Amino acid sequence: MKRRNFLALAATAGLVAAACDPGPGSRWGLGGRPGPGFEEDTGPGAEPGAGDTGSGTTVGVRGDAEELAGLQNPLMVPPLIDPEPGPDGVRRFELTAQAGRSRLLPGRTTPTWGFNGDVLGPTIRVRRGDVVQVAVTNALDETTDVHWHGMRLPAAVAGGPHRPIASGETWTERWIVDQPATTAWYHPYPLGRTAGHAGRGLAGMLVVDDYTRRRGLPSAYGVDDIPLILQDARLAPDGSLAGEARLGAGGAGGGEGGFVLVNGTAGPFLDVISERVRFRVVNGSGTRVFDLAFGDGRPFHVVGNDAGLLAASVEVSRVSVAPGERVELVAAFLHGETVLLRDLGGPPDPGQGGAALLKIVVAPRLTASRPVPRRPAVGLLPIEVPPGARVRRFRPDGRGSGNTDLTRIDLVVPAAATEVWEIDNPGDAGTFHLQGATFQVLDVAGDPAPPHAQGYKDTVYLPARAAVRLAVRFGGLADPGAPYLYHFRTLGSAGAGTTGQFVIVQPGEEARTPRTLPPRDTPDDLQ
């Protein structure tokens, strides 16, 4: 594998590549270092970085006034829903999937879908230990569903294609939140239609809080704790969505869209009034990998990824996020400056297709922020693979969702098991998502994961023609009649992928577990 491609591919497995050239002996080309040492001596009061001339300046622009002029729309921050518990102690949330219209291009509107609005959905905030009830009403003209991507739930309430919501129907589920602080998200997962539904705008963020909220990370939603849902889009001249190239669905026939939306906003800017800002980033596109960096190359912290906060914060200067992945960043700003958040252009063509994503306008006077904690998550232990653990090997075929049978059980896993999953990707780059478990990346193309990639994850980038090994820890809730899904998706095509199913059973019950499920009633428009 060419060195240039290898470094880029390693980065997008949830790993972070440095903007500068790696020094001798570096096999990853990574500029990250643990947060300790950055915590005390870097921040708004530190020496400005390259291209940073202090207050009242514009940095990271490299003389491109056209980019600045194009970023003139206020960033839409999705509303936060965080209800108080009812008399029975239950926090209740209501979502309605509905059609709307959004202004994505100047002077015209585009038909879109959203939850409780025209496009995207509100941010749901819950806390570990909460009892929550979510009612999802489908006000669309066709069947949809909701997948709680990143939530650790019993399979029977996890939603997705096993629980379609017909037009006019309301689906209500209740569960106890039992997981660490996490940036999750929700979106439809109808097999063969995911790009079309999430791509029209049906997506939102779901934030789980726990004790780590007291450890000093920015947490004022919409002020210094900012959600960023990144999607690409291509529109027809009349403003309509161009064929299959819907929001986040990639271009027609696959590939990138024509421009990028941040929280459904084209050409956005954000006013910042705090010394440090936490960005919760979700890649909600279908095929595009975002390689994020600030225009002046300033360092920032990675403090969390898909399934929770990291054991140690890590300083980097760029981070790649593949479709479905999440990453939490904390960046420091100087009063009066203007900074660009950029996409440098991710694999499979690093450095190509980059774009200015967000203009950050920093106020003349800033609210003080606490230093980034050295250890965002205390007590986070690596997933230990016991001797003799089962090793499962996968070779995605990319045949598409047509090979998926929702009555077929592909794997049976004992409750609370730890396994090694080896994914040998023979073709184009792609992603892998696993429900009902969390994993840590052991290695990519034979090289170990660096510190900033050692957090818990549920989605991982698969480099082209390379292998990824994962240490997988499954949940302890056994239910042989309710399957979880695992999904391989090829980035080169908006629809190509392979979906499998597994059930979790009590240890010793694997051989007696049926490998088929009874057929379920299917809404007419899905038959």
Gap between the Cα atoms of 499 and 481, Å rounded: 18
Digit-by-digit pLDDT tens for the chain (527 residues) are 433 333 333 333 332 233 332 232 222 223 343 333 333 333 333 333 333 334 455 554 443 677 777 899 999 999 999 999 999 999 999 999 999 999 877 778 889 999 999 999 999 999 999 999 999 999 999 999 999 999 999 999 999 999 999 999 999 999 999 999 999 999 998 665 655 677 788 999 999 999 888 888 999 999 999 999 999 887 776 666 654 444 554 433 334 447 889 999 999 999 999 999 999 999 998 888 999 999 999 999 999 999 999 999 999 999 999 999 999 999 999 999 999 999 998 665 555 557 899 999 999 999 999 999 999 998 788 999 999 999 999 998 755 444 678 899 999 999 999 999 999 999 889 999 999 999 999 999 998 877 777 899 999 999 999 999 999 999 999 999 999 999 998 886 544 678 899 999 999 999 999 999 988 776 655 55
pLDDT of res. 137:
98
The answer to whether residue 135 is domain-embedded is yes
Instruction: Indicate if 404 and 460 belong to the same structural domain.
Output: yes
The identity of residue 482, as a single letter, is A
| Cα(325)–Cα(12) distance, integer angstroms | 10
Q: Phi and psi of 211, rounded to 5°?
A: -60, -25
CB 322 within 8 A of CB 12: yes
How many other C-beta atoms lie within 10 A of the C-beta of residue 98?
A: 17
Angle at 472 between CA 324 and CA 347, to 5 degrees: 35
Helix (H, G, I), strand (E, B) or coil at 67: helix
Say if residue 235 is in the same domain as residue 194. Answer: no
Q: Is residue 268 part of a domain?
A: yes
Q: What is the pLDDT of residue 26?
A: 25
Q: How many Å apart are CA 154 and CA 513, to the nearest integer?
A: 18
Residue 109 within any structural domain of the chain = no
pLDDT of residue 493: 53
- The answer to whether residue 385 is domain-embedded is no
Q: Are residues 203 and 219 in the same domain?
A: no
Q: In the chain, how many H helices and how many E strands?
A: 3, 34
Domain extent for 47: 3-73+215-367
DSSP secondary structure letter of residue 88: T
Q: Which residue has the tokens 């270092």?
A: 33
Say whether both 144 and 195 belong to one domain. yes
Query: Which one, of 371, 304, 499, 516, lies nearest residue 38 by Cα?
Result: 371
Note whether 153 and 47 are same-domain residues. no
Looking at residue 362, its pLDDT comes to 98
Is residue 204 domain-shared with residue 304, that is, in the same domain? no
Asked whether the beta carbons of 228 and 263 are under 8 A apart, the reply is: yes
235 with 272, same domain?
yes
* Strand residue runs (E) in 317-458: 319-321, 326-332, 338-343, 355-367, 391-394, 411-414, 418-425, 430-434, 437-444, 447-448
Judge if 354 and 425 occupy the same domain. Answer: no
Q: What is the CATH number of the domain that holds 241?
A: 2.60.40.420
Are 491 and 430 spatial neighbours (Cβ–Cβ below 8 Å)?
Answer: yes
DSSP 8-state code for residue 457: B
Would you say 434 and 410 are in contact if contact means Cβ atoms under 8 Å apart?
A: no
Distances in Å between the Cα of 296 and the Cα atoms of 46, 50, 68, 318, 409 are 15, 6, 14, 11, 50
379 part of a folded domain: no
What size, in residues, is the chain?
A: 527
Residues with Cβ within 8 Å of 350's Cβ and at least 6 positions away in sequence, in order, are 4, 5, 7, 8, 291, 344
Number of structural domains the chain divides into:
3
Q: End of a domain among 208, 229, 249?
A: 208
259 and 239 in a single domain? The answer is yes
> CA-to-CA distance for 302 and 318, rounded, in angstroms?
10
Of 208, 223, 256, at which residue does a domain stop? 208
Q: How many Å apart are CA 520 and CA 407, to the nearest integer?
A: 8
Same domain, 221 and 301: yes
386 lies in some domain: no
233 and 281 belong to one structural domain? yes
With beta carbons less than 8 A apart as the criterion, state whether 36 and 24 touch: no
Q: Which residue has the tokens 């900033």?
A: 452
Q: Same domain for 174 and 226? A: no
Nearest Cα to Cα of residue 152 among 115, 181, 122, 188: 181
Structural domain includes residue 110: no
Model-level pTM? 0.85
Tell me if 247 sits within 8 A of 200, measured CB to CB.
yes
Q: How many CB atoms lie within 10 A of CB 409?
A: 18
Is 170 among the domain residues? yes
All residues at 6 or more sequence positions from 236 whose CB lies less than 8 Å from its CB, including other chains = 242
